[in-house]
Chains A and B, each alone.
Chain A
Amino acid sequence: MTQADIDGPDATAPGLTRRQVYEARIRRRSMIVAATSTAAVMLALFLLIPLAPGWEGVKKSFFNADVFSKTFPGLIEAFLLDVAIFAWSAPLIFLLGLLIALCRDARSPALYPLRLFGILYTDIFRGVPVILVIYLIGFGIPGLGLPRPWNSPYIWGTVALVLTYAAYVAEVLRSGIESIHDSQRAAAASLGLGHGDTMRFVILPQAIRRVVPANMNLFIALQKDVALLSFIGPVEIFRQAGVYKSLLANFTPYVGAALIFLAVTVPATRYADYLMTKQARARS
């Protein structure tokens, strides 16, 4: 009885079991089916959509190459403002979120007011749409009569964004902190470490690392919500696209803006997915 007897007449390469051969054949077949059907669907879309009655009009309004090339540089420039708003908001959101999470984690009875504050804070700021907060704070607080430059929409719009997103980040961090097994706290306490040191050196480093994928999702959402600051004045990409739309009576600038956003958010999303898979694999 040789290996060939076991493998059967189908074994084509030395060392390949008949199961491997079978699986390779199935894989090849499914690839061909997938490729053919995808190509067929794409071809159908390609041929049939232009036949729709309104297509020329839609193409002119949404996919106008001339308008696209005219407006793209301006959109990129306006996008830099979005990037800037994100860059200065993200660290502030993380810090405030961490503070609120620690407030909610306060365990001693004496610190109950802090805990209550944390609960109220997260309830309120997760319960109101971001755009409402931006209007209320972006217009409302400067409206109280602050002198320039302290009444700038950039400042108060950022404050609104930070307050809102910190609530979400706080909840994510809190879940991370609570997911750290009590035995870690027991070990730290047994060594004589105080609550502050335990948090700082034992719990938080583990908790923060654990919730990085969840936080990444929040920050990807933030990348898009910075556009909401346009409602109180700053001319970032969404507003700039709107200006072009009004000037040129064409919606292609919005398509351009969407593409620019995707260029940034898609890599970020892929990276977040990668982190999540890595973590799931390490955990198991």
Chain B
Amino acid sequence: MKLTMTSTVAFMLSTGVAMAGGHCAAGKTLNDDVLTVATGNPAYYPWVMDDAPEAKAGFEAAVAYAVANRMGFEDGQVVWVRSSFDQAIQPGAKNFDFNLQQFSITEEREEIVDFSLPYYSAAMAVVTRQPVVERGAEASLASLKGLLWGAHASTTAVPMLAAIVQPDADPLLYGDNADVVEAMKANQIDAALMDLPTALFTAGVLLDDGVVLGQFPPDRSDNPDQFGLLMEEGNPLKECVDAALAELTEDGTLAAIEAEWLAEATGVPVIE
């Protein structure tokens, strides 16, 4: 028994070393034998728990470590840095190997940076407050048009509001989700559009009387919102990352991670 254990450990260790040395990612990272991953500052629930990605807790933290492991990096070889959205899409060299903070893959962004295969299809959800529902808001486009909207200015919620919801009044835009929530609390806006997991967190925790009114499923339009890992343009690591993600998707690991961290994303009505 002990022998089997030791030999199993020995085997794993040796495989690990061999994998890191001879695997796809060798020589393609910023620093040899280290994978530098970036995320937001702070990183929010449920993407990262308690703003501590090293704990591997949270959907994106889990995905990052899964991809790292598949590429042959031990958990201890993963180093985290923080960046803002702007820092990620600046032209020039990056201080990370890949960055994940709910970046939606878009054509225009692809011209400046590289994205991996998608790791999550994001449904967009409507967050509002109980008083607004009592005033008659419901999960239909007709009703949503008449609401006063707010959104995080840098996200794909903005073009989505313009294309699909087409509200009667111009939306108010904010620098981050915290300000969107403030505005909703101050009754300056009726509703906000954000990805479903963040919407659930906002309605459940950040607002006292928050309600997730409905969701727009990811395949609602010809340009579904999908999150991808963001890399420097032309990064040779992309093929290794994509290979890892393909594996994770095929063998169901990605779905399992999603089920573990984003389990609540069911039961929200779909908006007609």
Interface residues of A (CB under 8 A from B): 54, 57-58, 60-61, 139, 142-143, 145-148, 151-153, 230-235, 239, 242-243, 245-251
A-B contacts at CB below 8 angstroms, number = 87
9 cross-chain pairs, A with B, having the tightest CB-CB distances, nearest first: A233-B172, A57-B91, A246-B154, A142-B186, A249-B109, A61-B91, A143-B186, A248-B108, A249-B112
Question: How many Å lie between the Cα of A153 and that of B173 in the bound state?
Answer: 11
CB neighbours (8 Å) of A235 from chain B are: 170-173
Tell whether B183 is near chain A: CB-to-CB under 8 Å. yes
Interface residues of B (CB under 8 A from A): 85-86, 89-92, 106, 108-109, 111-113, 150, 153-156, 158-159, 170-175, 179, 182-183, 185-189
Q: Are B112 and A233 in contact (CB under 8 A)?
A: no
> Known contacts A60-B91, A61-B112: does B179 contact A232 (CB below 8 Å)?
yes
CB neighbours (8 Å) of A146 from chain B are: 187
B66: shortest Cβ distance to chain A, in Å? 26
CB neighbours (8 Å) of A231 from chain B are: 174-175, 179
CB neighbours (8 Å) of B175 from chain A are: 231
CB neighbours (8 Å) of A232 from chain B are: 174, 179, 183, 188
Q: Are B173 and A243 in contact (CB under 8 A)?
A: yes
A1: shortest Cβ distance to chain B, in Å? 75
Q: Are B112 and A139 in contact (CB under 8 A)?
A: no
Q: Which residue of A lies closest to B103 (CB)?
A: A249
Question: How many Å lie between the Cα of A142 and that of B186 in the bound state?
Answer: 5
- Indicate the member of B86, B156, B183, B188 with the most A CB atoms within 10 Å: B188
Q: Are A239 and B185 in contact (CB under 8 A)?
A: no
Question: How many Å lie between the Cα of A57 and that of B86 in the bound state?
Answer: 15
CB neighbours (8 Å) of B158 from chain A are: 243, 246-247
A239 contacts which of B86, B153, B188 (Cβ < 8 Å)?
A: B153
| Sample of 7 A–B contacts (CB below 8 Å) | A60-B91, A142-B186, A147-B187, A242-B153, A242-B154, A246-B155, A249-B108
Q: Which residue of A lies closest to B233 (CB)?
A: A57
Question: How many Å lie between the Cα of A245 and that of B158 in the bound state?
Answer: 12
> Known contacts A233-B173, A235-B171, A250-B108: does B153 contact A243 (CB below 8 Å)?
yes
CB neighbours (8 Å) of B183 from chain A are: 139, 153, 232-233
Question: How many Å lie between the Cα of A248 and that of B111 in the bound state?
Answer: 9
A30: shortest Cβ distance to chain B, in Å? 41
